[in-house]
Structure 1
Amino acid sequence: MLIDNNFQYPAMLKVAGKHCVIIGGGAVAARKLQTLLDAGARVTVVAPEFCAEVQSLAARCTLVTDRYKPHYLEGAFVVIAATSSFTVNRKISAAAPCLVNNITEPELSNFTVPSSISEGSITIALATGGMPAFTRLLKTQLAQFITPELANFNDFLREQRDVVKAITPDSKAHTAFWRSVLNKALLNQVMAGETAKAKEKVLDAVNSFRSQSQDSPR
């Protein structure tokens, strides 16, 4: 059973173009394969046989019909031990020279994949230290707030971030600006469906920041 002390360092991985390996060809392997492919990874799946879901993704990955052998882990960035055998998954966890996720005994992993909510450019990861039922409940609740409008506003903010960076190279000024502009009142406005007004406030703040930066002594 997972305990809250096992995984204390949250991280988001960039796996696009990275070599990832899944050992196992069942339903869990299929779910892991889908998420890795969606993230742009180059995935090799090794198993004696593959379920229909894995086979349906064959054009996007490499399927190797074989039992686990240590050499399949060479050069991998991420390894998923997804066989139905505790013994085999333990061997994979012990041999993997990289990030490894063991589906049968998560405590033998050095990383875990949390439940997540995604909407556009916003992703929220959830972990409750081994309480999946509560994780699902929290996910359902939080999903009500991560709307397409909120994702759209985030995209707008990312565009304005580049504008602010172009005004001055001073990173401390950037930080101070965004801390002053982004507040709960602005977020509440977006959540209330007043996104246009919220964007106007940000644009006004950016224009004011530009004027102040131009007027400040060099």
Structure 2
Amino acid sequence: MLYPINVQIQDRNVVVIGGGKVAQRKVFGLLEAGAKVKVVSPEITSDLLRLSETGEISWRPEPYGKENLEGALLIIAATNDRETNLAVKRDAAPYQLVNLADDPDESDFQVPSVMKRGKLTVAVSTSGASPVLAKKICTQLEEMYDEQYESYLDFLASSRKEIKASVKDELVKRKLLTTIADESFLKESFREERFARLLEETISEEGR
């Protein structure tokens, strides 16, 4: 049974074993999350080579060895050799989490398909049953949660800070947070002005 979490890997060490297209996709996702990525593979794709040349990743042009795993929080084994991938799993320390790109059942964690709209992140996993279906569902979600959600989430984040700083009563706080999460605020062209009036009225009532 998997336990779904979002992991903070900003500036954390992650090792990717393998240098092909699958490894490349994993590296791009890791870099987007701010990880420090080391790739271990005798050969790598042209895109990974470019990242290495610009210093965005470190590349060890050598066959896999157990020493390559030292200091890594997450490890991704994405070679085209199953025995090598399994060796990575065996060699990892108990505190290290390993993903085998070709074997979700043997992995400590799985990388879901992801749909992002600014601060909104929706992850879809089929527990390895069908990555194709997971991507299809993400495509459907992209249509459901369009670009307007990016500015809406920014609005919710800033408004939440204002509510927590300005309103003392916990019940009133929850009521306001529920109100701005209503669909009417999503579609409101002047949501900031509407919220400012609402907050001002609330603070005024609290002061009475």
Q: Quick one: which amino acid aligns to residue 83 of structure 1?
A: T
Superposed CA deviations along residues 79-115 of structure 1, whole A, max 9, x for unmatched, are 1111111111111112223121110111111111100
Q: Determine what percentage of the aligned residue pairs are the same residue.
A: 29
CA distance 1:201–1:74, change in 2 (3 Å): same
1:199 to partner: Cα distance: 4.3
Distance in structure 2 (CA, Å) of the matches to 1:171 and 1:66: 58
1:75 counterpart residue number:
71
Structure 1 residue matching 2:68: 3-state secondary structure: helix
Is 1:210 matched with 2:206?
no
Q: Quick one: which amino acid aligns to residue 154 of structure 2?
A: D
Superposed CA deviations along residues 113-151 of structure 1, whole A, max 9, x for unmatched, are 100111222211111231223223212211112222111
CA distance 1:61–1:209, change in 2 (3 Å): same
Alignment of 1:126-165 (within 5 A): 126-129=124-127, 130-165=129-164
Which fold has the larger relative contact order, with Cα–Cα distance below 8 Å and residues 6 or more apart in sequence? 1
1:112 counterpart residue number:
110
Superposed CA deviations along residues 173-205 of structure 1, whole A, max 9, x for unmatched, are 53343124423x426xx3xxx331544443333
Is 1:28 matched with 2:26?
no
CA distance 1:172–1:82, change in 2 (3 Å): farther
Alignment of 1:79-94 (within 5 A): 79-94=75-90
**Residues 26-35 or 123-132, more deviating:** 123-132
Is 1:51 matched with 2:45?
yes
Distance in structure 2 (CA, Å) of the matches to 1:162 and 1:99: 34
**Residues 18-27 or 129-138, more deviating:** 129-138
Distance in structure 2 (CA, Å) of the matches to 1:72 and 1:175: 49
**Residues 205-214 or 76-85, more deviating:** 205-214
2:8 counterpart residue number:
14
Distance in structure 1 (CA, Å) of the matches to 2:16 and 2:168: 44
Q: Quick one: which amino acid aligns to residue 69 of structure 2?
A: L
- 8 Å Cα contact 1:29/1:54 also seen in 2: no
**Residues 134-143 or 105-114, more deviating:** 134-143
Superposed CA deviations along residues 143-180 of structure 1, whole A, max 9, x for unmatched, are 11222211101101111111112114666653343124
Structure 2 stretches lacking a partner, 5+ long: none
Taking structure 2 as the reference length, what is the TM-score of the superposition? 0.88
Distance in structure 2 (CA, Å) of the matches to 1:138 and 1:209: 40
Structure 1 stretches lacking a partner, 5+ long: 1-5
CA distance 1:205–1:103, change in 2 (3 Å): same
What is the aligned residue count? Answer: 203
Question: After TM superposition, what 4+ stretches of structure 1 lie above 6 angstroms from structure 2?
Answer: none
Structure 2 residue matching 1:144: 3-state secondary structure: helix
Structure 1 residue matching 2:114: 3-state secondary structure: strand
Structure 2 residue matching 1:111: 3-state secondary structure: coil
CA distance 1:83–1:170, change in 2 (3 Å): farther
